[in-house]
């Protein structure tokens, strides 16, 4: 898009965003989500316990679930999975633990404090926008080994034009800016049994969480960069 056109179309874009926020109030959609999140933390220097060295790790979706449920990171999970719940109109979003047997969100890992979304409507004759890009500010809740923190999540989702609700599709037609914005498909390391190929969107995040380690100490963990793939719809 040419820079000289920004002012001309800016009003239209803002109006579309407001219309999306007002659509289908109260309704939400929950999507299976895979994650790969880099982590940085301090650990005592084995050569001098009065000094610290930096440790590095990567959290997958099942690691975040285990931390929220208070179980060891080595615990294999096939039922409780990471998911993203997004309100129709993108007024709110939660990162949650989803119980597949109960068909319900059981733990809210992080809750949005502010969501800004800009919609796009590729077909001007359609009922409404078909996709959006968002930035979500989230507060991390205290759940077992996760003791507060914050996240900023930015990404994209497909929308159902008729109601402004996020939706999953079989063919990803919105990958044009993924490389530019550092969005990429995250491999499912949680379960080999999940075969559904639907995709709702991609996102990336940065943030800080406080984590209780096995030694019983609470440590600040930086999340300099992570990626999320928003997959098939789980609810409603």
Specify the pLDDT at position 48.
84
- Listed in sequence order, the DSSP H helices in 58-119 are 61-69
According to the model, what pLDDT value does residue 49 have?
79
Residue keyed to tokens 């919609």:
119
Which pLDDT score, from 0 to 100, does residue 92 have?
A: 97
What is the structure's pLDDT at 64?
97
Entry field: residues in the chain: 236
Question: CB neighbours (10 Å) of residue 222?
Answer: 17
Distance CA 31, CA 232 (A): 5
Per-residue pLDDT of the chain (236 residues; tens, 9 = 90+): 443 343 343 334 344 444 334 333 469 999 999 999 999 999 889 888 788 999 999 999 999 999 999 999 999 998 999 999 999 999 999 999 999 999 999 999 999 999 999 999 999 999 999 999 999 999 999 999 999 999 999 999 999 999 999 999 999 999 999 999 999 999 999 988 899 999 999 999 999 999 999 878 899 999 999 999 999 999 87
Q: Which of 222, 206, 207, 186 is nearest to 31 (CA)?
A: 186
Confidence (pLDDT) at 26:
63
pLDDT number for residue 208: 98
Q: Which of 158, 159, 169 is nearest to 197 (CA)?
A: 169
Cα–Cα distance, 118 to 16 (Å, whole number): 7
């Amino acid at each position: 898009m040419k820079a000289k056109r920004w002012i001309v179309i800016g009003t239209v874009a803002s109006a579309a965003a407001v219309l999306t926020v007002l659509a289908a109030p109260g309704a939400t959609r929950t999507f299976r989500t895979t994650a790969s999140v880099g982590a940085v933390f301090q650990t005592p220097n084995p050569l001098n316990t009065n000094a610290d060295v930096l440790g590095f790790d990567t959290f997958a979706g099942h690691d975040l679930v285990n931390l929220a449920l208070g179980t060891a990171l080595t615990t294999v999970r096939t039922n409780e999975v990471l998911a993203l719940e997004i309100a129709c109109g993108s007024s709110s979003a939660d990162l949650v633990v989803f119980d597949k047997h109960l068909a319900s969100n059981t733990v809210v890992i992080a809750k949005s404090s502010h969501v800004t979304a800009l919609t796009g409507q590729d077909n001007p004759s359609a009922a409404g926008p078909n996709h959006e890009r968002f930035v979500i500010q989230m507060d991390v809740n205290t759940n077992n080994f996760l003791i507060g923190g914050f996240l900023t999540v930015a990404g994209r989702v497909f929308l159902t034009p008729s109601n402004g609700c996020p939706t999953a599709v079989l063919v990803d037609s919105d990958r044009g800016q993924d490389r530019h914005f550092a969005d990429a498909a995250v491999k499912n390391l949680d379960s080999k049994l999940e075969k559904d190929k639907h995709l709702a969107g991609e996102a990336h995040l940065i943030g800080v969480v406080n984590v209780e380690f096995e030694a019983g100490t609470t440590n600040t963990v930086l999340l300099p960069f992570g990626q999320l793939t928003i997959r098939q719809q789980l609810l409603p």
